[in-house]
Amino acid sequence: MAAGSLDLPVVDLASPDLQSAAEAVRKACVDSGFFYVTNHGIQDQLVAAVFAESKKFFELPLEEKMLLHRNSAHRGYTAPYDEKLDASSKFRGDLKESFYIGTVRDVDMQNDPNQWPPEGEVNESDNGNYGASAHSDYGMITLLATDGTPGLQICREKDKEDWKDVHHIEGALIVNIGDLLERWTNSVFRSTLHRVVSVGKERYSAAYFLDPNPDLVVQCLESCCCEAYPPRFPPIKAGDYLKERLSATYK
């Protein structure tokens, strides 16, 4: 069943030379009937969301998927072996399973022949929820490694909703300041709000939280205060502070 590779043409839809792009499309249609296009305008996030929703649906038990079995308009779920695209095949049907949708006819959806999976694929109460909601880390310094999946965002000003994506750099660690170090430096160093938003697929990260010894008293460093800028936070043992924060988080 092995097959050789085929180098198909690649057409850049954003090419300033429209004539050449059109000629490339024509040549591909004549020569092979297959080609690639780049700069097509479909966002990667949308593609990822489509695959994520597909994965959630097809992982459902067969009996749940069959509740949406294709209707007379051929919209809905098609189980394995239901289709036999090659009539000469010796097998009873193809292995693939499919879910078909089409154009929505009416805005009010009353005459829509599509069949839609119930919203309970995802907990309705979790709509708009985050992988990790807005917070600043509790301790001194955090070292973070990610798998490259986007979703991490930061907000430099805690009183403003101005979120920025943190882009992945291969081989680098992300470092961020925690609240305890902000206390220690009298807010000269500032901890930063961050969150993780859902992008429709799993995201993995590994965080190393660097904290002082539990019995260390964290109080304003002399170099971070003066008469005009006195200490803003009372002294506290590092262990007591972290216990308070964790207790509030998991209560």
3-state SS class at 220: coil
Q: What is the pLDDT of residues 181-230, one digit of tens each?
A: 889 989 888 888 888 877 776 666 777 788 899 899 999 999 989 999 99
Q: Percent of the chain having pLDDT more than 90? A: 17
Bigger pLDDT: 153 vs 172? 153
Domain ranges (residues) in the chain:
9-41, 44-85+94-118, 132-250
pLDDT of residue 24: 83
When comparing pLDDT for 232 and 82, which is higher? 232
Q: Is 222 helix (H, G, I), strand (E, B) or coil?
A: helix
Into which CATH architecture does domain 132-250 fall? Sandwich (2.60)
The Cα–Cα gap between 109 and 202 comes to 32
C-beta separation of 25 from 35 below 8 A: yes
